[in-house]
Structure 1
Amino acid sequence: MSNGSYVARPQGCPRLAAVSTPTARPGTSSRVYVARLKGTAVFDPLGDQVGRVHDVVVLVPVKGAPRAVGLVVEVSSKRRVFVPLTRVTAIDAGAVITTGLVNIRRFAQRATETLVVAELLDRHVTMRDGSGSAVVEDVAIEQQRNRDWLVTKLFVRRSSGRGGLGLRRGEALVVDVTDVLGLAGTPEQQGATALLATLEDLKPADLADVLHDLSDTRRLEVAAELDDERLADVLEELGEEDRVSIVSGLDVERAADVLDAMQPDDAADLVSELPTAKATELLERMEPEEAEDVRRLLAYDEHTAGGLMTTEPLILPPEATVATALAHARRQDVTPALAAMVFVVRPPLETPTGKLLGVVHLQRALREPPHELIGALLDKDIDAVLPKDDIGKVTRLLATYNLTALPVVDEGGRLVGAISVDDVLDHLLPTDWRDADDDVTDEAMTRSAHG
């Protein structure tokens, strides 16, 4: 062991923790912990923010200390670009300062590169002194006198054995990177706990973007650690290939539970993308009511109103009060587009309902006293569509009347579902829109070579 001693990572320190000084500048020995670096604002020399740190790219050799070569920076429109550490002039508490020369091409990980947050955190390593194994919880990088950045320290938590200083299972310590074996290990050595901790506050669409960038194995590991509701939200935002891969890799019972938690229209879209045998098996394992909704939606062509609709909009009887309507609109499982409109029907209130009487717009309800009955606030002039109507008619109605949702009724005027504007957009955009590069027009950024 180097120097035969351990140093505990400082607690309660600034986001960018430095052991020797609070600032990492060329020529100093300051230490920066990567997990705390994630999310830090990146600025050009003029003080304009160009993005935030998403990860750190390192090269992990079989022998010797890994070398940090650059930052993955998330800039406008969720694009991630590569910023070589040679372009970084300072890492201060809460800020990374660059020369302003940033490659605006989307970052593509090379085979020789390793992402610290995505791939090294939670990796299981073995203590070189034979005292047991540990899990990597953070990685420290330091700039050397030759301006190279090296991984020098690891913040680990002992998972087995007892060290020479009496350290027991579960105790945390900072060790030299040379004190462990297996850092350049296999994906099987890495868990998902630390990575998930860095993603906890992300919106589903942003988390889906992160999962898309991971390897197939790592993506499934992270997805398996998410709870059913969270994973359902993320699957609704992923592209076809990624979500099919995840659902196919999950245990059947778990996959069925996640489908139960999804919006019926999104679940139906996903089931339709699966092999027939897999789809049939999952439908049989789902809750009967949820499976029935999905089967009903699968009967429609995907480019018709029936194929676009959800069977679970906000539905209330005319004698419900404004207070009740607003309480339903506040439900966490209701999208903003659907929350803007309450569909008022005769019983039964489950689709297919009784006759559709009209709709109440959220904006109108907010102007009325809580005890007012929604039956007195009806908009009866809104156009409904039939399940067989094509997406063109749906789009024209939404655009013409500036609506976020439309009712879908059967020939008898009974509500069978509703279409939200976000579902229409998903079908109008190219199938690969989630992967398409966005134009970056920030004049402060100019092109440079990757690395």
Structure 2
Amino acid sequence: MAAVTPRVFVSHLSGVPVFDPNGDQVGRVRDLVAMLRVGGRPPRILGLVVEVISRRRIFLPMTRVTGVESGQVITTGVVNMRRFEQRPTERLVLGEFLDRRVRLVEDDEEVTVLDVAIQQLPARRDWEIDKYFVRKGRGGALRRKGETLTVEWSAVSGFSLEEHGQGAENLVATFERLRPTDVANALHHLSPKRRAEVAAALDDDRLADVLEELPEDDQVEIIGKLAEERAADVLEAMDPDDAADLLSELPEDDKERLLALMRPDDAADVRRLMSYEERTAGGLMTTEPIVLRPDATVADALARVRQADLSPALAAQVYVCRSPDETPTGKYLGTVHFQRLLRDPPFTLVSSIVDSDLVPLPPDTPLPLVTSYLAAYNMVSAPVVDESGSLLGAVTVDDVLDHLLPDDWRETDLTDLHGETGLHGEEGVGRGGR
């Protein structure tokens, strides 16, 4: 039997406290942020508007919400304290959906939305609108006496976008079903004005994923047109190695201003990566591999591997190190591959199954040797360790390929692989899905 995923009515979320994993209160929920979608798909819940102790309202992405239950919301603990600003493609559920007059699809009868139910998608952190609680009849006394009923989202018209049209809201919605590399391909073929409009409308995490797939010129153009605080947010959401590559293309003054606006820990990782030569293991690596202490278990390792935001290359193995377990770590002990994790009991300590025979890469290893290393040992990622034995990061095969392919490889048209040719012009994009 399929697991039942949580369903919550948004009126029950208004004002509930938000806690971090340690039990400390971050703030209270004041609204939910939704994005309308094309193709008859239910609106997607992007995140929560949370009022923190200082009465500032911030945005908390749903990808950082780990629990919605018992009158409380639990987060991953990573909260961006910059003030929430609603974007043109976003809708506030409590502020804009409730008390809205819409129509039932079945008989075209006008009803009033009294509440909205949201549901988490199975095996994912994504949430979308599931049902509407509505009242028949028009305002005043009739509204009080009207019949109330709960209907599926598809039974109500007025909460989706038309398939045609070229507003930024429509264009962003059509991109939702596409992978970041396909969105990047579509953006590359838009005019600079249109590209800036769409980039401004994308949420930070989505824009970060797309920027990583764009040619350098497009990256610099887009980041340069964003407000500096938002540009810093997007850089924080990017993989550190990609953020370092992008910042290295900017003028020195712009680079320093953006680094100063980033969270200190994120900025430190990026600065460290920028200190290495570009075509070396240090310049290619990411500073965010899966790191576990020797007393962690196979169950702990598999829980980390299951994180949805990890790339397949990073999820292929974990690195066992002594404390501290953030790069640069304590002494690097070795690697445990994903297949080995599947073969051993959950209670097994990772220190007892670690592979310590494989020599790690020094940070100054040149690109040709990194490539040979991955090929010789059939690896999709490799540890990078300094002279003191600390793990600095991991080089993944996708980053190696980025530097082996021609400089203009990102401009190659990939749509023929999908049998699609409608991604190039704005008109063609409007017919697709996000």
**TM-score between both structures, scaled by the size of structure 1:** 0.55
- Distance in 2 (CA, whole Å) between partners of 1:267 and 1:438 is 24
- Distance in 1 (CA, whole Å) between partners of 2:360 and 2:285 is 12
- Distance in 2 (CA, whole Å) between partners of 1:440 and 1:201 is 17
Give the deviation of 1:436 after TM superposition: 3.1
Q: Secondary structure at the match of 2:314?
A: helix
Q: Superposition pairs for residues 278-289 of structure 1, below 5 Å?
A: 278-289=254-265
- The alignment status of 1:343 with 2:304, answered yes or no, reads no
Contact 1:408 1:419 in 2 (8 A): yes
- Distance in 2 (CA, whole Å) between partners of 1:335 and 1:224 is 25
Q: 1:200 aligns to what?
A: 176
Amino acid at match of 2:401: L
Q: Superposition pairs for residues 234-383 of structure 1, below 5 Å?
A: 234-383=210-359
Q: 1:221 aligns to what?
A: 197
- The alignment status of 1:387 with 2:340, answered yes or no, reads no
Contact 1:304 1:390 in 2 (8 A): yes
- Distance in 2 (CA, whole Å) between partners of 1:380 and 1:193 is 51
Give the deviation of 1:440 after TM superposition: 7.1
Contact 1:347 1:353 in 2 (8 A): yes
Q: Secondary structure at the match of 1:419?
A: strand
Q: 1:209 aligns to what?
A: 185
- Distance in 2 (CA, whole Å) between partners of 1:399 and 1:264 is 24
Amino acid at match of 2:197: E
Contact 1:408 1:417 in 2 (8 A): yes
Q: 2:396 aligns to what?
A: 420
- Distance in 1 (CA, whole Å) between partners of 2:326 and 2:399 is 21
Give the deviation of 1:330 after TM superposition: 1.4
- Distance in 2 (CA, whole Å) between partners of 1:301 and 1:428 is 16
Structure 1 consecutive aligned stretches of length 4 or more whose deviation exceeds 2 Å: 436-442
Change (3 A) 1:205 1:441: closer
Q: Secondary structure at the match of 1:395?
A: helix
Q: Secondary structure at the match of 2:393?
A: strand
- Distance in 2 (CA, whole Å) between partners of 1:391 and 1:312 is 20
- Distance in 2 (CA, whole Å) between partners of 1:282 and 1:389 is 29
Q: Secondary structure at the match of 1:333?
A: coil
Q: 1:154 aligns to what?
A: none
Between the aligned residues of both structures, percent identity stands at: 57
Q: Secondary structure at the match of 1:280?
A: helix
* CA root-mean-square deviation: 2.6
Change (3 A) 1:227 1:391: same
Q: 1:102 aligns to what?
A: none
Give the deviation of 1:213 after TM superposition: 1.3
Amino acid at match of 1:275: P
Contact 2:188 2:218 in 1 (8 A): yes
Contact 2:320 2:335 in 1 (8 A): yes
Larger-gyration structure (1/2)? 1
Give the deviation of 1:211 after TM superposition: 0.9
Change (3 A) 1:412 1:209: same
Q: 1:232 aligns to what?
A: 208
**TM-score between both structures, scaled by the size of structure 2:** 0.57
Amino acid at match of 1:260: E
Change (3 A) 1:362 1:200: same
Give the deviation of 1:283 after TM superposition: 0.4
Change (3 A) 1:248 1:440: closer
- Distance in 1 (CA, whole Å) between partners of 2:273 and 2:417 is 41
Give the deviation of 1:247 after TM superposition: 0.3
- Distance in 1 (CA, whole Å) between partners of 2:264 and 2:290 is 21
Contact 1:345 1:357 in 2 (8 A): yes
Give the deviation of 1:191 after TM superposition: 3.2
Contact 2:185 2:413 in 1 (8 A): no
Amino acid at match of 2:246: L
Contact 2:361 2:385 in 1 (8 A): yes
Contact 1:383 1:406 in 2 (8 A): no
Deviations 1:196-254 (A, max 9, x none): 11111111111111111111111111111111111111111111011111100000000
- Distance in 2 (CA, whole Å) between partners of 1:320 and 1:248 is 43
- Distance in 2 (CA, whole Å) between partners of 1:397 and 1:345 is 21
Q: Superposition pairs for residues 95-106 of structure 1, below 5 Å?
A: none
Give the deviation of 1:333 after TM superposition: 2.5
Q: Secondary structure at the match of 2:409?
A: coil
- Distance in 2 (CA, whole Å) between partners of 1:441 and 1:328 is 33
Q: 1:186 aligns to what?
A: none
Structure 2: gaps (5+ residues)? 1-37, 41-88, 90-156, 160-164, 419-434
Give the deviation of 1:441 after TM superposition: 10
- Distance in 2 (CA, whole Å) between partners of 1:385 and 1:368 is 27
- Distance in 1 (CA, whole Å) between partners of 2:174 and 2:408 is 27
Q: 1:67 aligns to what?
A: none
Contact 1:191 1:221 in 2 (8 A): no
Give the deviation of 1:368 after TM superposition: 1.5
Amino acid at match of 2:278: E
Q: Secondary structure at the match of 2:177?
A: coil
Contact 1:229 1:258 in 2 (8 A): yes
Amino acid at match of 2:247: V
- Distance in 2 (CA, whole Å) between partners of 1:315 and 1:36 is 41
Q: Secondary structure at the match of 2:410?
A: coil
Structure 1: gaps (5+ residues)? 1-34, 38-121, 123-169, 173-182, 184-189, 443-451
Q: Secondary structure at the match of 1:418?
A: strand
Amino acid at match of 1:334: L
Q: Secondary structure at the match of 1:358?
A: strand
Give the deviation of 1:383 after TM superposition: 2.2
Amino acid at match of 2:180: P
Amino acid at match of 1:399: A
Q: 2:57 aligns to what?
A: none
